[in-house]
Amino acid sequence: MAQIIDGKAIAAKIRTEIAAGVLELKKKGVTAGLAVVLVGEDQASRVYVSMKEKACNDAGIFSVEHKLSADTAEAELLALVDRLNHDPMIHGILVQLPLPSQIDTEKVLEAISPFKDVDGFHPYNVGRLSIGKPIFLPCTPYGVMVMLKEAGVELKGKEVVVVGRSNIVGKPVAMMCLAEHATVTLCHSRTRDLPGVVRRADVVIAAVGRPEMIKGDWIKEGAVVIDVGINRVGDKKLVGDVDYAGASLRASAITPVPGGVGPMTITMLLYNTLESARRSVAVV
């Protein structure tokens, strides 16, 4: 049976380290600060934002939430982002997506200072990642890399197959694995013979958004499986993109859903905020 890579436990360990780092920085007179901007009433976004706020409080990070109405004009949001860019108490800015349709999301993300872009979505940071000199790594793929490291998985020379090429998960995680000297294949909806490609993988990273699409018999004996997918089936049940029961019979290690990659995302957001605050001390 596969070793379970326990995201909850890894996240808890790293959050303890972050809290210690935040305390250390406070002794130097700096409190790490995160601003979260929420526009509109999207229920899921509200839940994420309150989870982020609680996680900040637990870690000792100062957090401010800016709740704007759904009819907020783009110019108003851009003005807020500009104020936060210049606010010395704020080291990280996160604009919760999705934004209402009257607002150009790209324009807003590009207005965030790349040096406070703790989500790592600004094109400057995407570019820095792709040239191997990152400033902020996007949180979910960063969480995947930390899990692999904590599980003792060495990527050098390995075949990594990433399924899904989104800007927030698939593409950046592929870049990060490349930086660790893996041989990376990035698959998507037009990939021919996906089962055949996945069968080559020493490490499979699934970020598709389709419940249990990756079958157990696609997994090479002894492969490591990281399942980023979070899919709600029926009323309450959450499942990943991988058939967990089938894949566990062949994999050497696997992440569960829930309790796998999920808890890592906010953890890495806290980590990025702390890192940003540390840099602000270094340049003072």
170: tokens are 């698939």
7 binds ligand NDP (CB under 6 A): no
187 binds ligand NDP (CB under 6 A): yes
Q: How many residues bind ligand NDP (CB under 6 A)?
A: 25
* Among 129, 168, 226, 251, contact with ligand NDP (rule: CB under 6 A): 168
* Among 262, 271, 276, 277, contact with ligand NDP (rule: CB under 6 A): 262
**115-154 burial code (b ≥16 CB/10 A, e <16):** bbbbbbbbebbbebbeeeebbbbbbbbbbbbbbbebbebe
Query: Mapping DSSP to helix (H, G, I), strand (E, B) and coil, where does residue 44 land?
Result: helix
CB 156 within 8 A of CB 181: yes
Q: What is the DSSP letter of 154?
A: -
- Of 6, 96, 117, 227, which one is the catalytic site residue? 96
189 binds ligand NDP (CB under 6 A): yes
CA 190 – CA 47 distance, rounded (Å): 34
In the complex with ligand NDP, which residue's Cβ is closer, 63 or 267?
267
Of residues 219 through 258, those in contact with ligand NDP by CB under 6 A are 228-231
Query: Mapping DSSP to helix (H, G, I), strand (E, B) and coil, where does residue 278 land?
Result: helix
CB 227 within 8 A of CB 242: yes
* Among 27, 133, 156, 190, contact with ligand NDP (rule: CB under 6 A): 190
Q: How many CB atoms lie within 10 A of CB 14?
A: 19
* Among 21, 92, 120, 164, contact with ligand NDP (rule: CB under 6 A): 164
Answer yes or no: 52 catalytic: yes
In the complex with ligand NDP, which residue's Cβ is closer, 128 or 165?
165
207: tokens are 């970020």
Q: Which residue is nearest to ligand NDP (CB)?
A: 166
Which residues contact ligand NDP (rule: CB under 6 A)?
A: 140, 163-166, 168-170, 187-191, 194, 207-210, 228-231, 261-262, 265
Active site residues: 52, 96, 119
